[in-house]
Amino acid sequence: MSSSKPEQSHRKDEEEETTAAEDEDTGAQVAPIVRLEEVAISTGEEEEEPILDLKAKLYRFDKDGKQWKERGAGTVKLLKHKESGKVRLVMRQSKTLKICANHLVIPTMTVQEHAGNEKSCVWHATDFADGELKDELFCIRFASLESREIRGSSFTGGVWLCFIVTCYGYCRSFMETFQEVAESQGKKEDNKDASDTAGLLEKLNVGDGKTEGKEQEEKPDVAKEEDKQTYKEEDKKAVDDQAKPEAGNKDEPAS
């Protein structure tokens, strides 16, 4: 019994010394074997500004199987290009960032509720998510309605005004924003067509003016040619008239 106690105490001292040595900071710095450099990742959205950004789940209709198939769950965005003003819809999966939908919003597009479900809506689009243009029927579903009423009051012109604002769900916000964008794109195209038409008319007017000016410039040249011809004929006639008396004098006999 007495011999075991010293051994145990000795082992305990060794363990404490080992732990203290491990915890001791030597201050040595070890250089990494591989140095990783920061790499800039381009998302393709640098020249665009988001109009809408919501989380949802996207489905596409399989024409062959005649059923809805899930494309992925993630964030759907409406992005407006800073220069051209065109708007496109882009949706990526939340974990892999794989593109689920990628298409332009054009004036002919319409979005509507799916079978009376207030959480989901459908629309047709020519999509480019798979690297080629495809006609797709999409259905997007949002997690909740999030409808609520906001009550408040304001003091305006010495009178207290009470108001109630109803905040609709994500699906309603998506539909309204989508439709507003489609209509605005239609107005831009109409304005562009009007500008192009005005430009063509202006070019035609300028062209007519140039043609008239050219004709006016050509007319004096014709007159000059006619004057030159007249002068030549008159000079020739004058020379002939002078030559006739001289010839007559030569033929007369000397007295």
24-57 pLDDT tens trace: 666 677 777 888 888 888 888 889 999 999 999 9
The pTM assigned to this predicted structure is 0.56
**Strands of the 48-62 sheet, one edge to the other:** 99-104, 87-93, 67-81, 48-62, 134-141, 117-127, 112-114
pLDDT in tens, 129-138: 999 999 999 9
- Report the alpha-carbon distance of residue 169 to residue 1 in Å, rounded: 79
Q: What domains appear along the chain, each with residue ranges and CATH number?
A: 48-184 (2.30.29.30)
pLDDT of residue 33: 81
Give how far Cα 226 sits from Cα of 127, 175, 206, 219, Å.
71, 77, 31, 11
Mean pLDDT value across residues 82-87: 92
